[in-house]
């Protein structure tokens, strides 16, 4: 890492830390931005680096929400009674109970989601290309439908978690730093992971799975590990979102297949898949676009969003980073031999 | 759980209930099969997996509903929805689909997903999010002491679906364009060499698919209800049917469509109406898994 990169990362880290104080009105927005960055980065682990385009990663987000809520409530009260009351009864949480619930819930959600990723992955990783996408989308939709019929966790009404104890604005700050912390850890982890043999192995799976297998890679094991790691992070941000949202229900906020579930894919495509910075740049661009259209397009925002998806996919599939890489390969340390380039023509 | 067991034992105590469920399921399934046939056509000919399939159906339903509100006899809605959706399908093909045919399959899946969101939202903005239907003034036929009821409107709908399917099949078998479509499906490159304008064939196929879906929607609005966001339900079922039946297998598509309609009604009867969507999606996963195990036996993967 040279001096210029160190300066860049220091500036970015400082910006992350001071951002909520510079824009105090946008704390929730900034937290959501980090959420988008995290889900985009984790989607890129399988979608971009490994070539398995999942449309069902939202399953881990929703499952993380529910697991965290069940743990946080279950530590103190009976979950069935709590959801039965639907806000009618009095259920008090002390500060200590709230924070232990949040901590254990978040970690538990991450672990539970990685385990489900292994199980689902074992069943679905035989599917290739579009079938994998449809299969995982099916898993997410089915989970949403089943949970909305499951009365123990509140059915279609969802669950209302306790409110953050203490000052409301401090709460927003806490949630911002939780998301940002997980995001930074994830970024550092991925930067290291993609430089190891493991990163090379999952890239080999993307480029030609049959050859990778012939070279002696145990592809299924690599695929399961990658998805389990992605699911761990998605489950944890899902858990934090549950505490941030306070009230959530299965179809619109937990297993929101057509909202966040597709946004993460668009973020990655917009930024450029298979790169480390692509998902981050894409998530920032997408989030800004979304907020602007949400504010100024009154009702037509969804149509604009659909149009953005179609245009990105059809006309701009390499994304921003892919485009840059094509135009300025030297920025990425790719050397183009003039002679070979000429010989192609 | 007791509820579920009770519902199951009801099926054995009163066998005629089975008949009612199957009749209902077959009537729903006929329309699923229609949408699935369009999907199989597009999938087989141009290798585009159209996730906006269900939204074409709903759009066709709204065309018919809107015209009926203006005082047009509802039965004319079917051909008009066919023509209008043909035009919409052609425009979408020229703007989007033509650019994704040559690309990898995830591209077409995602592009049509974006289209699905757009169509559903535009319908929502134009017509509101209430459920809509056209009431037909026909009687209901009763059999077995009123246990099995068949509204004539539904019977008419199934009949129209059958007529439409027959017309499409005859067209594909006999006409010059139908031959060209089948040739392109077999080998696009060879078809081009033999002088078939494959671009035209693709445009025609996609428009035809949209039109079939539109007509199916115009039938659905007469016998059930439509709502801007119901599209995904039809898309999922179309995928279940095509994945189960395979491409270019018309008897398979029809029987899978009818079978899924019936299975779904059974699921709704046994587990409660809230599980109907879940049953459809779980059927999709089941079909994928079964296909996967079949392929794994031959050391291949489903792609």
Residue A121 in domain: yes
In the structure, what pLDDT confidence band is assigned to residue A1 with cuts at 50, 70 and 90?
low
Residue where the block lists tokens 């009749």: B23
Tell me: pLDDT of A233 over 90.
Answer: yes
Rounded Cα distance, B77 and B134, in Å:
11
User: In this complex, do A130 and B239 lie within 8 Å of one another by their Cβ atoms?
Assistant: no
Residue A275 in domain: no
Q: Does B109 contact A at CB distance below 8 Å?
A: yes
Percentage of chain B surpassing pLDDT 70?
95
User: In this complex, do A315 and B292 lie within 8 Å of one another by their Cβ atoms?
Assistant: no
Q: How many helices (H) and strands (E) does chain B have?
A: 13, 2
Q: Are A15 and A240 in contact (CB under 8 A)?
A: no
Q: Residue B26: give its domain's CATH number.
A: 1.10.3470
pLDDT at A130: 75
Q: Does B91 contact A at CB distance below 8 Å?
A: no
Residue A34 in domain: yes
Greater pLDDT, B252 or A284: A284
> Taking the CA of residue A155 as centre, how many other CA atoms within 13 Å lie in the half-sphere pointing to its CB?
9
Residue B303 in domain: no
Q: Are B119 and B60 in contact (CB under 8 A)?
A: no
**Residues of B whose CB is below 8 A from A123:** 289, 292
Residue A81 in domain: yes
Rounded Cα distance, A326 and B4, in Å:
59
pLDDT at A94: 79
Of the candidates B84, B78, B96, the residue with the CA atom closest to the CA atom of residue B203: B96
User: In this complex, do B113 and A302 lie within 8 Å of one another by their Cβ atoms?
Assistant: no
Rounded Cα distance, B285 and A126, in Å:
13
Rounded Cα distance, B156 and B222, in Å:
10
Residue A317 in domain: no
Which pLDDT tens digit goes with each residue over A145-190? 888 888 888 777 888 888 888 787 888 888 999 999 999 999 999 9
Tell me: pLDDT of B292 over 70.
Answer: yes
Residue A222 to chain B, least CA–CA distance (Å)? 17
Tell me which H or E stretch contains B151.
strand B148-151
Rg (alpha carbons) of chain B, rounded to whole number: 20
Residue B302 in domain: no
Give one DSSP letter per residue of A133-159, joined into a string.
Answer: HHHHHHHHHHHHHHHTT-GGGTGGG-E
Tell me: pLDDT of A59 over 60.
Answer: yes
Q: Which of A126, A141, A303 sits opposite B302 (nearest CB)?
A: A126
Q: Among B67-81, B142-156, B264-278, where is mean pLDDT lowest?
A: B142-156
Two tokens, residue A102:
């949040």
Which pLDDT tens digit goes with each residue over B177-235? 888 988 888 888 888 898 888 888 899 999 999 999 999 988 888 888 888 888 888 88
Identify from A130, A266, A309 which residue to disrupt to test chain B contact, counting B C-beta atoms within 10 A and taking the largest count: A130
Q: Are B193 and B184 in contact (CB under 8 A)?
A: no
Q: Are A20 and A176 in contact (CB under 8 A)?
A: yes
Residue A335 in domain: no
User: A246: phi > 0 → left, psi -120 to 50 → alpha, else beta; which?
Assistant: left
Structurally, chain A folds into a number of domains equal to: 1
Main-chain dihedrals φ then ψ at residue A248, nearest 5 degrees: -140, 155
Full domain range(s) for residue B168: 2-297
Residue A295 in domain: no
* Cα B240 → chain centroid: 10
Full domain range(s) for residue A139: 29-257
Of the candidates B230, B178, B203, B238, the residue with the CA atom closest to the CA atom of residue B60: B230
In the structure, what pLDDT confidence band is assigned to residue B299 with cuts at 50, 70 and 90?
low
Structurally, chain B folds into a number of domains equal to: 1
The A-side interface with B (CB below 8 A) comprises 53, 55, 123-124, 126-131, 133-135, 138-139, 141-142, 145-146, 148-149, 258, 262, 265, 269, 299-300, 302-303, 305-310, 313-315, 317
- Give me chain B's average pLDDT, please: 83
Rounded Cα distance, A113 and A42, in Å:
13
Give one DSSP letter per residue of A31-77, joined into a string.
Answer: HHHHHHHHHHHHHHHHHTSS----S-THHHHHHHHHHHHHHHHHTTS
Tell me: pLDDT of A38 over 90.
Answer: yes
CB burial string A250-266: b at 16+ within 10 A, e below: bbebbbbbbebbbbbbb
Q: B3: Cβ–Cβ under 8 A, 6 or more apart, which residues?
A: B272
**Residues of A whose CB is below 8 A from B122:** 303
Residue A111 in domain: yes
Greater pLDDT, B269 or A45: A45
Tell me: pLDDT of B172 over 50.
Answer: yes
Rounded Cα distance, B230 and A54, in Å:
23
Greater pLDDT, A317 or B265: B265
């Amino acid at each position: 890492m040279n001096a210029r990169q160190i300066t860049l990362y220091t500036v970015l880290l400082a910006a992350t830390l001071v951002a909520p104080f510079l824009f105090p009105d946008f704390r929730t927005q900034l937290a959501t931005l980090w959420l988008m960055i995290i889900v985009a980065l984790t989607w890129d682990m399988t979608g971009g680096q490994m070539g398995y385009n999942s449309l069902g990663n939202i399953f881990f987000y929703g499952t993380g929400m529910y697991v965290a809520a069940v743990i946080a409530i279950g530590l103190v009260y009976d979950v069935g009674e709590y959801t039965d009351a639907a806000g009618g009864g009095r259920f008090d949480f002390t500060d200590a109970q709230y924070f232990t619930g949040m901590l254990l819930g978040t970690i538990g959600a991450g672990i539970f989601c990685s385990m489900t990723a292994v199980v689902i992955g074992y069943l679905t990783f035989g599917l290739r290309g579009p079938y994998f996408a449809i299969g995982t989308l099916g898993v997410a939709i089915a989970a949403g439908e089943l949970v909305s019929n499951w009365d123990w966790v509140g059915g279609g009404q969802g669950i209302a978690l306790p409110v953050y104890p203490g000052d409301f604005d401090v709460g927003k700050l806490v949630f911002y730093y939780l998301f940002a912390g997980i995001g930074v850890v994830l970024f550092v982890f991925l930067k290291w992971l993609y430089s190891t043999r493991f990163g090379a192995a999952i890239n080999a799976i993307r480029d030609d799975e049959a050859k990778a297998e012939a070279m002696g890679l145990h592809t299924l094991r690599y695929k399961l590990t990658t998805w389990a790691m992605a699911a761990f992070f998605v489950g944890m941000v899902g858990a934090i979102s549950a505490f941030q949202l306070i009230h959530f229900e299965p179809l619109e906020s937990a297993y929101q297949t057509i909202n966040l579930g597709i946004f993460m894919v668009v973020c990655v495509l917009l930024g450029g898949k298979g790169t480390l910075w692509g998902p981050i740049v894409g998530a920032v661009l997408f989030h800004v676009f979304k907020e602007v259209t949400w504010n100024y397009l009154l009702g037509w925002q969804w149509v604009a969003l659909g149009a953005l998806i179609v245009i990105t996919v059809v006309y701009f599939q390499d994304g921003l980073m892919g485009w840059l890489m094509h135009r300025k390969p030297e920025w990425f340390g790719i050397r183009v031999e003039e002679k070979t380039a000429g010989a192609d023509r | 759980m007791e509820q579920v067991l009770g519902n199951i034992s009801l099926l054995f105590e009163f066998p005629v209930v089975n008949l009612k469920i199957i009749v209902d399921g077959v009537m729903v399934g006929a329309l699923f099969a229609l949408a699935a046939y369009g999907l199989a056509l597009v999938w087989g000919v141009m290798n585009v997996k159209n996730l906006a399939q269900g939204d074409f159906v709903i759009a066709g339903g709204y065309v018919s509903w809107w015209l009926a509100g203006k005082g047009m006899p509802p039965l004319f809605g079917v051909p008009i929805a066919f023509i209008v959706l043909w035009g919409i399908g052609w425009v979408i093909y020229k703007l989007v689909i033509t650019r994704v045919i040559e690309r990898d399959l995830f591209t077409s899946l995602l592009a049509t997903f974006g289209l699905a969101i757009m169509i559903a939202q535009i319908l929502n903005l134009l017509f509101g999010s209430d459920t809509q239907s056209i009431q037909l003034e026909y009687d209901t036929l009763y059999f077995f002491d009123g246990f099995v009821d068949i509204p004539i409107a539904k019977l008419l709908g199934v009949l129209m679906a059958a007529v439409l399917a027959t017309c499409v099949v005859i067209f594909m078998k006999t006409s010059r364009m139908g031959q060209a479509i089948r040739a392109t499906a077999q080998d696009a490159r060879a078809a081009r060499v033999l002088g078939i304008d494959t671009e035209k064939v693709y445009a025609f196929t996609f428009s035809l698919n949209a039109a079939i879906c539109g007509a199916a929607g115009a039938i659905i609005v007469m016998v059930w209800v439509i709502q801007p966001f119901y599209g995904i339900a039809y898309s999922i079922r179309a995928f279940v049917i095509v994945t189960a039946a395979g491409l270019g297998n018309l008897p398979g598509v029809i029987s899978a469509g009818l079978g899924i309609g019936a299975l779904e009604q059974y699921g709704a009867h046994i587990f409660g109406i809230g599980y109907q969507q879940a049953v459809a999606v779980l059927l999709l996963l089941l079909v994928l898994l079964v296909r996967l195990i079949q392929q794994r036996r031959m050391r291949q993967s489903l792609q």
